[in-house]
Structure 1
Amino acid sequence: MTEFGALLKYLRTSRHITQAELSHNLISRDTVVRIENNHQNPSFETGIQLLERLGISLSDFDKQRSITNPTSFSNLTQKFLYQLNSSGDRKTLTDVNKLARQIYQEEGNFTARNIMLVTEAMEKIDDWNFNLAHIQELRKLLQPVWSNLAQIDEWCMLDLRILDCSLFFFDLETAHAIMQHAFRIIDKKYPTLAGLKAAFSANYCYLLILNRQIKAPFVELAESRKIASQTGRYDLVIVADIRRLVLEQLPNYKTNIKHKLSVLTNLGATGLVESLKKEVQAILDR
């Protein structure tokens, strides 16, 4: 994030700390120079350590960024995560896309570019309904996202969220590799994001269904349901149940699906309910 360096420099100089003092036994002074001049972005962990040396918490740093720049990257990430966590309305999605586009055009921020492309794909898939032909078309739009993140071994939390919500736009082989690598990173670095493993698994299951993988979805749905249950993602437990019902099409399956959708509605997951209705219809229309 290019704004990080400018604000880091401001905080450092206001505390009368030299670049050599800030970098001591952590990174080289030259690296600090490159960061402050927006020629290099630190890793998430290094950025946190630099802020700690300045006596600044990450939350305080984000607040400072929002004050000094209302179109800051932190504002974008907050709105993007709100959209994902709350299944926000179409207007929120459009606002996130516009802000991401503005930041990318002004700063060349690749994460902003990734959010811009992902939200654009989400907007279009909402207009078109879910089906394999549309997903394959949007795959081309999102290719730069994967080209960027495929070069990074250790995805940060935001990278993981970007990949999760765009997983079903990838081909099966790529999606499976992304999911498995995401699982390893979550287990290693972000155990508190265990629920995100359930989301990755749920998205991969739907991609299998769209690709008409007859046996694989039932195996993956069972695993997805297990992960969702273990991590407290009971909304995704219901998603797995609904997908199994529509695949099996046993007697009264439509009544059972309607009941489970009503449970999700009562949980306040109205955005998820609308998406599932489209999914169910897309599966039935195959």
Structure 2
Amino acid sequence: MSLTSFSIGATLKKIRENKGYTQKEISDDTMARSTYTKFERNDITQTLSKYMAILDHMDMSHEEFIYILNEYELGQKETILYLFRKIEKNPNSALIDEIIEKGEELVQERYDQLILDILNACRGYKIILEEQDLTKAKVYAQKVWDRLETLDNWYLAEMRILNSILYLFDSETAASLTNRALANLDCYPHLEEAASLKISFLLHVTNLLMVDKNYEQALFYVKQMEGTAQSTEHPIMWATALIRKEVCMTKLGDTTELRLIEKAKRVFDSLDKPTLTEWAENDPENFYNLYAKKQTKLLK
């Protein structure tokens, strides 16, 4: 018997007892009580359907169970994915270096295509932050796209990777890919991760459109970013949208909404983010834009 299978049974038993449930309550009408007892003893292996039914009766998600099984720590791959999600809104060299280090360790031990994609995405980010060389960074982004473009559908993992390499494309193509991704993300209305990823796509595509000075199309996505960030309570991204909205509207000669940057600065002040307040005040057009050379040094 492997240590892993032993741990699964022992962990199921411990959780059940801590929650005060009986074996009969957990097995319910999904399986015989004797069958569930064998699961706890590791005499048999759960089928996927029975495993999910057990967790449902224990009021627990798969993610939480795996976390507990791993002694309240993230596994090797889960750690990399967790760190990579943090990059979506806060790219910086230290975080990227940590992901690259952990990713290289994992792929030396076993093949994992997603981690290979993440490594290439992070190497591209690293070049953008440290060398401000989009052309050089696109070499790594292209390696990721070579795989993604062959897929019939994108799920959350693939969309997170795609979001990280949008700079590979011209702004119009990036906008088209963003539209497709946003439509896919609409299939996940109840997942917070999908809402965060939607905001991140909108952040990236407006980065590219504003660098190209396509303020009208950028404003279209900025308004979506504003609404999504406000409704899902992402204050920094909401404030970022306000800044971009005022910049775009000003460039287009629209003065119907005033002092949006001042409102954003008040948000940053309330969050005790003086550096963001300073950025918004000194260079609003390039605020939080990974692809603007003036900003990459500030984002390190």
1:279 maps to 286
- Is 1:117–1:141's contact at 8 Å kept on the other side of the alignment? yes
1:39 maps to none
1:188 maps to 187
Could you list the runs of 5+ residues in structure 2 that have no partner in the other structure?
10-38, 56-60, 254-258, 296-300
The SS at the match of 2:186 is helix
1:220 maps to 221
Residue 92 (1) aligns with residue 90 (2): no
The SS at the match of 2:187 is helix
- Alignment RMSD: 4.1
With normalisation by structure 2, the TM-score equals: 0.62
CA distance in 2, matches of 1:272, 1:153: 40
1:127 maps to 130
Distance apart, 1:111 and its partner CA: 0.7
Mapping of residues 1-286 of structure 1, within 5 Å: 15-17=42-44, 22=47, 49=49, 51-52=51-52, 57-64=62-69, 72-84=76-88, 87=90, 90-129=93-132, 134-192=133-191, 193-247=194-248, 248=250, 257=261, 260-261=264-265, 263-264=267-268, 266-267=270-271, 279-280=286-287, 282=292
- Is 1:66–1:72's contact at 8 Å kept on the other side of the alignment? no
- Is 1:198–1:231's contact at 8 Å kept on the other side of the alignment? no
- Is 1:71–1:103's contact at 8 Å kept on the other side of the alignment? no
- Is 2:125–2:137's contact at 8 Å kept on the other side of the alignment? no
CA distance in 2, matches of 1:273, 1:99: 33
Distance apart, 1:15 and its partner CA: 2.3
Seen in structure 2, the aligned counterparts of structure 1 residues 50 and 182 have a Cα distance that, compared at 3 Å, is farther
1:35 maps to none
- Is 1:246–1:283's contact at 8 Å kept on the other side of the alignment? no
The SS at the match of 2:136 is helix
* Count of residue correspondences: 243
CA distance in 2, matches of 1:194, 1:223: 12
- Is 2:166–2:205's contact at 8 Å kept on the other side of the alignment? yes
- Is 1:79–1:96's contact at 8 Å kept on the other side of the alignment? yes
The SS at the match of 2:219 is helix
CA distance in 2, matches of 1:145, 1:260: 35
Could you list the runs of 5+ residues in structure 1 that have no partner in the other structure?
1-5, 24-48
Distance apart, 1:82 and its partner CA: 4.1
Q: Which has the higher helix share?
A: 1
- Is 1:22–1:53's contact at 8 Å kept on the other side of the alignment? no
Seen in structure 2, the aligned counterparts of structure 1 residues 63 and 148 have a Cα distance that, compared at 3 Å, is farther
Q: Per-residue displacement from partner, 1:89-118 (whole Å, max 9, x unpaired)?
A: 532321111111221233121111111122
The one-letter code sitting in structure 2 at the alignment partner of 1:120 is R
With normalisation by structure 1, the TM-score equals: 0.65
The one-letter code sitting in structure 2 at the alignment partner of 1:58 is E
The one-letter code sitting in structure 2 at the alignment partner of 1:167 is L
Q: Per-residue displacement from partner, 1:154-208 (whole Å, max 9, x unpaired)?
A: 4333333333343334333442233222222222135323243222112111111
